[in-house]
Amino acid sequence: MRLNSPQINLIIKACMKASRSLIRDFGEVENLQVSTKGPGDFVTSADKRTEKILIEELKKAHPEYGIITEESGMINKSNTDNRWVIDPIDGTMNFLNGIPHFAISIGYEEKGEITCGVIFNPITNEMFVAEKGSGAYLNNSRIRVSNKKKIKDALLVTGGPKGASKIKDKIFSEYINISNNVSNVRKFGSAALDMAYVACGRFDGYWQRELNYWDIAAGIIILKEAGGFINFFDEVNNNPLKKNIIASNSNIHNELLDLISK
Ligand code: IPD
Ligand code: CA
Ligand code: CA
């Protein structure tokens, strides 16, 4: 049975509130007003609405906490000890196209370490929850990463490159190298759910370059608490909000790292 701390309860409450309007918006996806934020990256009014509700709810309980968000940037910048890391809709492209594979992702960071997180797909009603030292859960069931032993049998997931990426060739050649050495590779369009799916053993591993911290903050603790290993490689311009990640079960982690660095 999952025991929730006040912090987790707070995140869940915010998620449930925001998801009500998100579900409505998904139903009306064709009427949504879409504005471009840059090549390959769209922001919808639903994104902004969802984020506003999440921020309001979280701020009610802790007005002093820092917040790193995709749409509103940084709030209470000086508080770096306690921060929420929010992606209101991870999987915007799926959302916009009526594909029910997207999630609200919220991580809580204490003194630089993510200590709890929630990833919630409001359409499938799957909620992934974890807190440091307490395990990871999908709804009320404990989850664990897969036990796949050999990378050649592994089903992996990845994402990118974005339309504007300047390292497409590198990303594609990595893809070829990895796909030649594993059973198969999927690309589902939500980094948060990719991490959550590795955490519950649906995928054996995940890798991706050019991520933002909010894409994966909640996923970090969910995956760790599910027994997974995470590695950040090739630091991006000393920018702590940009990440390249490998996340997998413990058995195939080193082999996957080797494939990336080849
Ligand atoms: C995107 C998704 C996608 C990943 C992109 C992210 P967004 O987030 O996580 O899977 O490949 O790099 O930007 O824009 O849908 O919040
Ligand atoms: Ca995202
Ligand atoms: Ca987003």
pLDDT digits (tens, 9 = 90+) for 63-79: 999 999 988 889 999 99
Domain CATH code at residue 26: 3.30.540.10
Q: Say what the pLDDT of residue 44 is.
A: 67
Residue 188 CA: nearest ligand 1 atom is 10
pLDDT of 39 above 80:
no
pLDDT digits (tens, 9 = 90+) for 85-100: 999 999 999 998 889 9
Question: Same domain for 125 and 167?
Answer: no
Q: Is 215 in the pocket of ligand 1 (CB under 6 A)?
A: yes
Distances (CA, A) of 65 to 9, 30, 106, 115: 16, 36, 14, 15
Domain CATH code at residue 238: 3.40.190.80
Count of domains in the chain?
2
The answer to whether residue 131 is domain-embedded is yes
Question: Same domain for 125 and 11?
Answer: yes
Question: Same domain for 93 and 215?
Answer: no
Residue 92 CA: nearest ligand 1 atom is 15
Residue nearest to atom 14 of ligand 1 (CA): 92
Question: What is the CA(255)–ligand 3 centre distance, in A?
Answer: 31
For 14-54, strand residue ranges (E) read 34-38, 41-44
Least confident of 48-57, 105-114, 231-240: 231-240
Question: Same domain for 166 and 123?
Answer: no
Beta strands across the sheet bearing 136-138: 73-75, 66-69, 82-90, 103-110, 113-121, 126-131, 136-138, 141-142
Question: Same domain for 87 and 133?
Answer: yes
Question: Same domain for 138 and 155?
Answer: no
Average pLDDT along the chain: 92
The answer to whether residue 1 is domain-embedded is no
Question: Same domain for 46 and 173?
Answer: no
Question: Same domain for 10 and 138?
Answer: yes
Q: 260 near 207, Cβ under 8 Å?
A: yes
pLDDT of 236 above 90:
no
Q: Of 106, 124, 142, which closes a domain? A: 142
The confidence band for 36, taking pLDDT boundaries of 50, 70 and 90, is low
The answer to whether residue 38 is domain-embedded is yes
Q: Say what the pLDDT of residue 28 is.
A: 80
pLDDT digits (tens, 9 = 90+) for 124-148: 999 999 999 999 999 999 999 999 9
Q: 143 near 136, Cβ under 8 Å?
A: yes
Q: Say what the pLDDT of residue 78 is.
A: 96
The number of residues making up the chain comes to 262
Q: Say what the pLDDT of residue 41 is.
A: 43
Residue 89 CA: nearest ligand 1 atom is 16
pLDDT of 38 above 60:
no
Give the count of alpha carbons within 13 A of 57, CB side only: 22
The answer to whether residue 160 is domain-embedded is yes
Question: Same domain for 14 and 130?
Answer: yes
Range of the domain at 224: 151-261
